[in-house]
Chains A and B, each alone.
Chain A
Amino acid sequence: MEQRQVMDAEEMRRAITRIAHEILEKNRGAQNLALVGILRRGAPLAERLAAIIEQIEGVRVPVGKVDIALYRDDYPERQPVVGRTEVPFDINEKAIVLVDEVFFTGRTVRAAITALVDLGRPANIQLAVLIDRGHRELPIRPDYVGKNLPTARAEHVAVLLKEIDGEDCVYIRKPGA
């Protein structure tokens, strides 16, 4: 399999820092804000964003994580392992930023929105992603993007995170080659 690195650790750090600033700018600070990572790799990204927001604003925003296995629209074809949803705060009337590593078809985000509204009625839901690789199949778009990455549909974008994979970097993998 042929693979090409498209982001290194330093580029990822800058992109995440910029997203944190953009979230604060758009929401006029960290009041009423909460971050929810989509399992698995959205969760550590949400934690990193919260840490940067705390450095900038001095406010610790609530962080949760949401598992979408039970909300997928492709359950009959694939039966994903169920992770643990954990949103230890009241989401009602909060501005929620969903965080995921790659934005592709939009179906994961659709499922995450459904999962989130089962827990309450947030004031609004925003979306932050590290990579937007295109090919969306639903009318959903991210509000904050680390990097726009044009890809072929058959390619695979792998985001590796220190917390899970031991290193920070982003690869594009071409199939078959």
Chain B
Amino acid sequence: MKHLLSLRETDAADIRRILETAAAFKEILRRPVKKVPTLRGKSVVTLFYESSTRTRTSFELAAKYMSADAVNIAVAQSSVTKGESLKDTLRTLEALTADCVIIRHSSSGAAHLAAQCVRIPVINAGDGRHEHPTQALLDILTIWEHKIVGREDDTYPRALSSERPFDLRGLTVAIVGDLAHSRVARSNVWGLTKLGATVRWVGPKTLLPADAHQLPVRVHTRLEEALEGADVVMALRLQTERQEKGLLPSLREYSRIWGISPRTLRYARPDALVMHPGPMNRGVEISAEVADGEGGIRAAIEEQVTNGVAVRMACLYLLMGEMMGAGE
């Protein structure tokens, strides 16, 4: 594994390797001193062409907990505004002796282009409508913890993943909402199905991607049908500008038909886990009661964020090791 660009191109063995490493790294996050010396003297650059709080902070903290130096480039204040191309920006970062670049861009395929420009590893932190692999990996880690290990199992994190393999066969994950614009939904389809889970997509017809039939996913148009028997319900963020573009009649109607609330959650299994990649529009795609896990509802939204740090530590560890000629 040289880069992490998409889960479509990452095989199941590498996905499992990242998840196993991430599960081991969670222990570091619980220490009084959250730092290991492994990536000392290495530098990680986050290059974000789109706004982000959690993903960028998560990558920066992951790098710092591994003792790497993390530098953030705020594109709005950079030479990109002077017209520098993506290729030249990346070559400059490499010449500045960066050891890894994490890129977010509004164009699908930007991370692949970046990877062709430089010799250092590139991690895709979201490219257009294409993929957001680390988000899907943290979602899968969270699903594994809840559905395979069990939150009540006090042997975790002691239970080795060899005893609790990353095998999701028999699990059904329903992803609800704006699928046409969601790179999170796409990465999750590839990652989850490679580990054996069944994935269903459901949302208004105007928000379904045209190529959904080419993906290993079952597409539904009624929420009740998609949620029936689901072990995991993942609500996607609805970008409010979609309504302005005429894809939705109103947010209120969207919320009533597609919003995850205690009422609609009744279609899923009683122990269904609710997830959301954030940031949430409370009262639109997810109700406040569900988001806060009230009344026995299982929501894992904050755990997802914590797992994101562990997953990104694992990605940095594995990719920066490969770069130095290690690995198999």
The count of residues in chain A whose C-beta lies closer than 8 Å to any C-beta of chain B is: 18
| B325 contacts partner chain A, Cβ-Cβ < 8 Å | yes
Q: Which residues of A contact B318 (CB under 8 A)?
A: 79
**Cβ of B96 under 8 Å from chain A:** no
A84 vs B24: C-alpha distance when bound (angstroms): 5
Beta-carbon contacts under 8 Å, B124-163 to A: 157-158, 160
Tell me whether A84 and B31 are in contact (CB under 8 A). no
Alpha-carbon distance A34/B283, docked complex (angstroms): 52
Interface string of B296-328 (1 = CB under 8 A from A): 000000000000000000000110011011110
Q: Tell me, in angstroms, the Cα distance from A118 to B157 when the chains sit together.
A: 19
Q: Taking the complex as formed, is A162 at the interface, i.e. its CB lies under 8 A from any CB of chain B?
A: no
User: For the complex, what is the distance from the CA of A125 to the CA of B317, rounded to whole Å?
Assistant: 29
Annotate B23-64 by CB proximity to A: 1 below 8 A, 0 otherwise: 111011001110111100000000000000000000000000
Task: Tell me the dominant secondary structure on chain B's binding face.
Answer: loop
B21 and A82 contacting across the interface, CB-CB below 8 Å:
yes
Cα-based distance from A74 to B324 in the complex (angstroms)? 11
If the complex has contacts A70-B37, A118-B36, are A77 and B326 also in contact, measured as CB distance less than 8 A?
Answer: yes
Check: A86 CB closer than 8 A to any chain B CB: yes
Q: Is the CB of B38 within 8 A of A84?
A: no
Q: Find A71's partner among B36, B158, B327 (CB 8 Å cutoff).
A: B36
For the complex, what is the distance from the CA of A79 to the CA of B33, rounded to whole Å? 23
A75's contact among B23, B24, B31, B321, by CB below 8 Å, is which? B321
Q: How far is the CB of B195 from chain A (nearest CB, A)?
A: 19
Report whether B157 and A71 are in contact in the complex, using a CB–CB cutoff of 8 Å.
Answer: no
**Further contacts, 7 of them, CB under 8 A, given A75-B321, A79-B324:** A70-B38, A77-B324, A77-B325, A86-B157, A118-B33, A118-B35, A119-B31
